[in-house]
């Protein structure tokens, strides 16, 4: 039997949710909801969704949904998720889970209280490169992790960036970490995979690289972030850049055996090994070794392309399939609640470190 799915929040990224639900054979999108009726109606027309609502409670009461996708600004996530779970629905929620750890804990507590399943959209970790990395780690290729570098490029001239900078009422302006807060999950959750510490030392620095616009709200949006986390045995470095080109997402994991370089945009995963042949000959052969690794990636990508598994949100489709399967078979969700809360806690620590850095910077002026 197909799961009955509803979506609340019909903004830009909700289209991606609709497309991935339609791509799966174990679920059917039966209703969409938005406070702005026109947004909901337009989405329903685009994707032939039978039911349209502007009242979330009414949608829950009338549609007997199995799953609710929440794609609203995070300030409303706690109330919406709690209402959905109380109505008997499982919840798939966009990142960030909530504006802070306390609100995130309330969402997880609601899931546990109502015995409903909860999943957050950490889809990069389920992209083919993310899954390839996980297999290499499980096979012992990395060894013990030593350091992780997570990089996220954000093009402010794109659809989402333009919407933010062009609207002083955009919900991102109200997040504690503003622009960074909306994408920090994608940077931090990759580091958290290799750093088990719940409370590492954190330092963070940000600045605005673009010239001032003269608008106080727009100019308050910083666009470059650097941070360092130091755990007991593993350190992590994160970078969010709106100006470095190309604007990609990469991960570099240093281990005691080898180092693994992941490029989520180009869909490549390359293991960097120690030089085994001495002298200049070994240095010469290293480039050929890298070339072979990239050739394997190219053939793998071609294979995925031919099998229609090379689209931009393949990772989200795989994560969503795993979440729906866990509902059908009553197994554990693909992402542990403890991991969601640990990432939320690390994000709180990062935002707090940014505030302290800004205060120190102001004190020197």
Rounded to 5 degrees, φ, ψ at 354 are -65, -40
**310: number of Cβ within 10 Å:** 15
Mean pLDDT of 47-67: 98
Q: What is the pLDDT of residue 19?
A: 97
Query: How deeply is 51 buried, as exposed, middle or buried, from its count of CB atoms within 10 A (0-12, 13-18, 19+)?
Result: middle
Give the distance from CA 79 to its chain's centroid.
21
Instruction: In whole angstroms, give the CA distance from residue 194 to residue 255.
Output: 10
Rounded to 5 degrees, φ, ψ at 152 are -135, 120
Domains of the chain by start residue, with CATH: 3-120 (3.40.50.720), 125-315 (3.30.360.10)
Mean pLDDT of 329-345: 97
Mean pLDDT of 258-285: 86
Q: What is the pLDDT of residue 210?
A: 94
Length of the chain counted residue by residue: 365
Q: Which two tokens stand for residue 336?
A: 């542990």
Percent of the chain with pLDDT over 90: 83
Any idea what DSSP says for residue 154?
-
Q: Are 53 and 27 in contact (CB under 8 A)?
A: no
Mean pLDDT of 321-349: 97
Region of 140 please: left (phi>0), alpha (psi -120 to 50) or beta: left
Q: What is the pLDDT of residue 306?
A: 94
Q: Is the pLDDT of residue 235 over 80?
A: yes
Question: HSE on the CB side for 83, CA within 13 Å?
Answer: 15
pLDDT tens sequence across 240-258: 999 999 999 999 999 999 9
**What torsion, rounded to 10 degrees, do the Cα atoms 242, 93, 149, 268 define?**
-90
Q: Which residues of 15-48 are buried (b: 16+ CB within 10 A; e: fewer)?
A: ebbbebbebbeebbbbbbbbeeeebbbebbeebe
Q: What is the pLDDT of residue 289?
A: 86
pLDDT tens sequence across 282-331: 777 788 888 999 999 999 999 999 998 888 999 999 999 999 999 999 99
pLDDT tens sequence across 113-147: 999 999 999 999 999 999 999 999 999 999 999 99
Q: Quick check: bond before 165 cis, omega within 30? A: no
Instruction: In whole angstroms, give the CA distance from residue 281 to residue 265.
Output: 32
pLDDT tens sequence across 200-229: 999 999 999 999 999 999 999 999 999 999
Band of pLDDT at residue 365, cut at 50, 70 and 90: low
Q: Which two tokens stand for residue 69?
A: 């996708």
Report CA-CA distances (Å) from 333 to 290, 329, 344: 37, 10, 18
Instruction: Tabulate helix, strand, coil % of the chain (nearest 5).
Output: 45, 20, 35
Q: Are 255 and 238 in contact (CB under 8 A)?
A: no
For residue 268, the cross-strand partners are 263
Q: Are 26 and 49 in contact (CB under 8 A)?
A: no
Q: What is the pLDDT of residue 362?
A: 76
Q: What is the pLDDT of residue 282?
A: 72
| Closest by Cα among 271, 297, 298 to 286 | 271
Write out the H or E segment, with its range, that includes residue 4: strand 3-8
């Amino acid at each position: 039997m197909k799961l009955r799915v509803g979506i609340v929040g019909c903004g830009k990224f909700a289209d991606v949710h609709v497309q991935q639900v339609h791509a799966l054979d174990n679920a059917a999108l039966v209703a969409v909801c938005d406070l702005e009726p026109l947004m909901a109606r337009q989405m329903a027309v685009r994707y032939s969704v039978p039911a349209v609502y502007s009242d979330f409670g009414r949608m829950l009461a009338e549609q007997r949904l199995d799953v609710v996708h929440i794609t609203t600004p995070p300030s409303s996530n706690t109330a919406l998720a709690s209402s959905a779970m109380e109505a008997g629905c499982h919840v798939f929620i966009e990142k960030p889970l909530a504006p802070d750890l306390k609100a995130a804990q309330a969402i997880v507590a609601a899931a546990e209280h109502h015995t409903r399943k909860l999943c957050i959209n950490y889809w990069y970790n389920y992209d083919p490169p993310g899954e390839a990395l996980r297999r290499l780690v499980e096979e012992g290729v990395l060894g013990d992790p030593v350091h992780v570098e997570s990089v996220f490029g954000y093009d402010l001239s794109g659809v989402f960036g333009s919407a933010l900078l062009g609207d002083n009422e955009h919900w991102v302006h109200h997040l504690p970490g503003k622009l960074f807060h909306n994408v920090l999950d994608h940077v931090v959750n990759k580091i958290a995979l290799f750093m088990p510490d719940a409370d590492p030392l954190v330092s963070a620095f940000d600045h605005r690289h673009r010239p001032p616009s003269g608008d106080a709200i727009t100019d308050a949006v910083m666009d470059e972030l650097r941070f360092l986390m130091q755990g007991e045995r593993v350190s992590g470095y994160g970078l969010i850049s709106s100006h470095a080109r190309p604007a990609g997402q990469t991960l570099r994991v240093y281990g005691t055996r080898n180092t693994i370089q992941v490029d989520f945009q180009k869909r490549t995963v390359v293991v960097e090994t120690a030089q085994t042949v001495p002298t200049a000959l070994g240095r010469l052969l290293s480039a050929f070794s890298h070339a072979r690794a990239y050739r394997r990636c190219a053939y793998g990508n071609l294979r995925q392309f031919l099998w229609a598994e090379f689209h931009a949100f393949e990772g989200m489709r795989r994560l969503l399939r795993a979440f729906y399967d866990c509902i059908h078979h009553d197994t554990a969700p693909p992402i542990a609640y403890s991991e969601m809360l640990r990432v939320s806690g690390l994000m709180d620590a990062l935002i707090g470190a940014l505030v302290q850095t800004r205060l120190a910077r102001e004190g020197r002026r």
